């Protein structure tokens, strides 16, 4: 059994985050010591590693909860897990596309200014969304 501090060291997840995951029902505590300290099993450690890795991949907590539910069922349909991961991948690709548009627009705006002592065209462009070349 692991104390919460040992669990934190074993997984790299901070103690307040472990408590939060427990509070929202993602990580059950396997019991308490005689001194009322939380105790976690190897299965709890593995579950926390799963959660931490999924969070590092940017998965939202609801998706992680659904994946944990699937992983706890014998014969859980793999397509359900793939659907969750696929939806997250689509969201990431959408965000990348938006960031790419922002990058191009910001690059264009920064190039309109010649850095002289006159009015700053960069500030003018930032103040007037109509000067943008398109939606972003």
Q: Is the pTM of this model over 0.85?
A: no
Instruction: Say yes or no: domain 1-60 is CATH 1.10.10.10.
Output: no
Whose tokens are 């462009």? That residue is 125
> Kind of pairing, strands 2-3 and 38-40?
antiparallel
The yes-or-no verdict on residue 76 having pLDDT over 70 is no
Q: Give residue 24's pLDDT.
A: 96
- Average pLDDT score, the chain: 89
Instruction: Give the span between the Cα atoms of 49 and 10, in whole angstroms.
Output: 9
Instruction: Give the span between the Cα atoms of 50 and 47, in whole angstroms.
Output: 5
Q: Give residue 116's pLDDT.
A: 73
> How would DSSP label each residue in 8-48?
HHHH---HHHHHHHHHTTSS---EE-TT--EEE-HHHHHHH
Select from 118, 121, 119, 117 the least CA-distant residue to 131. 121
Is the torsion defined by CA of 125, 127, 129, 135 positive or negative?
positive
Three-class SS of residue 2?
strand
Q: Give residue 120's pLDDT.
A: 80
pLDDT 10s digits, 34-65: 888 889 999 999 999 999 999 999 999 999 99
């Amino acid at each position: 059994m692991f104390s919460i501090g040992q669990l934190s060291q074993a997984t790299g997840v901070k103690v307040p985050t472990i408590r939060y995951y427990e509070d929202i029902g993602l990580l059950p505590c396997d019991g308490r010591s005689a001194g009322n300290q939380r105790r976690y099993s190897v299965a709890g450690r593995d579950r926390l590693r799963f959660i931490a890795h999924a969070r590092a991949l940017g998965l939202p907590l609801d998706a992680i909860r659904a994946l944990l539910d699937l992983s706890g069922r014998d014969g859980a349909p793999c397509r359900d897990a793939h659907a969750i991961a696929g939806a997250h991948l689509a969201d990431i690709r959408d965000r990348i596309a938006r960031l790419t548009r922002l990058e191009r627009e910001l690059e264009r705006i920064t190039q309109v200014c010649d850095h002289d002592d006159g009015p700053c065209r960069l500030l003018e462009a930032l103040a007037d969304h109509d000067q943008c070349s398109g939606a972003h």
